[in-house]
Amino acid sequence: MGLPARAHGEYGIVRLTGTAHDADDRLSNRDGVLSALVAYVLWGVFPVYFKLVQAVPPTEVLTHRIIWAVPFGALILQSRRQWPEVRRAFASPTTLFWLALAALAISVNWFIYIWAVQQEEVLQASLGYYINPLVYVLVGVLFLKERLRRPQVISVLLAAIGVSYLTIRGGQFPWVAISLALLFTLYGVIRKQVAVGAMPGLFIETLLLFPFALGWLGWLMLSDLAEFGHSGLSMSLLLVLAGPLTVVPLLLFAIAARRLTLTVIGFMQFIAPTLQFIVGIFYGEVLTTAHLVCFGCIWTAVAIFSVDAFYQQKNRASP
């Protein structure tokens, strides 16, 4: 924000200050777009990583994702000086309760996603994140008594038609897609109950899961069932990489969310499932007619939903 006109009775100062602030705003927007772009691209190509560790059972991959996210998360919290926020959260039993529920929801979401990629169901995973915004809308209608605008109704109906067509004509109930969408929506709704930042929240969630993950990994290693440490140095390093791959995109998204409008974030969020869709095709997943009809309905629904959101945001911003 620039200084108001005649702030000091000198228009020169006002112009220079305003120009400086305009430049700062442009720089902030540019950084926000870049951060969001990198975050969504990383999430979009995430299936490639899980393909690289495909020899490792999904339970062990999930275990490493939780364990190594804790130290990497701690490093980021230290660099951003966010430990006071973590301490405040631990001092509130209510906050810890909600974060524990969030940890349960996101860990199940992670497990299904890992399993889906390893079972060559990347297309279903991408479908889940396409329909996730529409599930948020349904939650608002069913539980918060919100009223849908006509474009939103059309979007939800198109998504329902697409999923139904895939189920009936494709002979495949897309439980992976629906589970991922429902669990991520549940996670988002729960996180709205607590005033905790993205990084402190994720750190606490993984910290709450850490003892269980460490115990499971310990049992696997004692039973000679773990791939970690037994499948070569490269595989062990790949499993450690699960930590930063979990934490870094969320950090970048948190930076972007502070600098960009919800409309821009809303449009950019579809980068991730689009890249996941491309990755699924690249790895040879079969795109049947039923898939094409389903995704066609979903893409149309997403387009209508996004355009409606854009105009709603634009109208609210108008004086």
pLDDT digit string, tens, across residues 162-179: 888 888 877 778 899 999
**pLDDT (average), residues 293-297:** 89
How far apart (Å, rounded) are the C-alpha atoms in residues 319 and 310?
A: 16
pLDDT of 211 reads 96
Task: Please give the C-alpha separations between residue 291 and each of 8, 63, 167, in angstroms, as whole numbers.
Answer: 64, 32, 10
How far apart (Å, rounded) are the C-alpha atoms in residues 282 and 249?
A: 23
Give the burial class of 84: count Cβ atoms within 10 A of its Cβ; 0-12 exposed, 13-18 middle, 19 or more buried: exposed
Comparing 289 with 212, the larger pLDDT belongs to 212
Which pLDDT band holds residue 253 (cuts at 50, 70, 90)?
Answer: confident
pLDDT of 12 reads 37
pLDDT of 217 reads 93
**pLDDT (average), residues 203-226:** 92
CB atoms within 10 A of CB 23: 10
pLDDT of 208 reads 96
Lowest mean per-residue pLDDT among 3-17, 73-87, 129-143, 300-314: 3-17
pLDDT of 210 reads 96
Residues whose CB falls within 8 Å of the CB of residue 165, separated by 6 or more in sequence, listed in order: 290, 293, 294, 297
Would you say residue 195 has pLDDT above 70? yes
CA pseudo-torsion sign 300, 304, 310, 313: negative
The pair of structure tokens assigned to 101 is 């529920």
Would you say residue 230 has pLDDT above 80? no
| Average pLDDT along the chain | 83
Instruction: Identify the CA nearest to 191 among candidates 100, 102, 93, 258.
Output: 102
Which pLDDT band holds residue 24 (cuts at 50, 70, 90)?
Answer: low
Q: Is 223 helix (H, G, I), strand (E, B) or coil?
A: coil
CB atoms within 10 A of CB 166: 25
Instruction: Identify the CA nearest to 196 among candidates 263, 101, 67.
Output: 101
pLDDT of 8 reads 38
pLDDT of 129 reads 87
Share of the chain above pLDDT 90, in %: 39
Would you say residue 272 has pLDDT above 90? no
How far apart (Å, rounded) are the C-alpha atoms in residues 85 and 102?
A: 17
Would you say residue 4 has pLDDT above 60? no
Where helices occur in the chain by DSSP H, the ranges are: 11-44, 46-52, 58-80, 83-90, 93-118, 122-143, 150-168, 175-191, 198-222, 233-240, 242-259, 262-268, 271-282, 289-317
Comparing 29 with 304, the larger pLDDT belongs to 304
Instruction: Identify the CA nearest to 295 among candidates 153, 126, 137.
Output: 126
Task: Please give the C-alpha separations between residue 214 and each of 20, 221, 301, in angstroms, as whole numbers.
Answer: 50, 10, 42
Tell me if 106 sits within 8 A of 205, measured CB to CB.
yes
Which pLDDT band holds residue 142 (cuts at 50, 70, 90)?
Answer: confident
What's at 214, amino acid-wise? L
- The string of pLDDT tens digits covering residues 71-127 is 999 999 999 899 999 999 999 999 999 999 999 999 999 999 999 999 999 989 998
pLDDT of 228 reads 82
Domain boundaries, the chain: 28-317
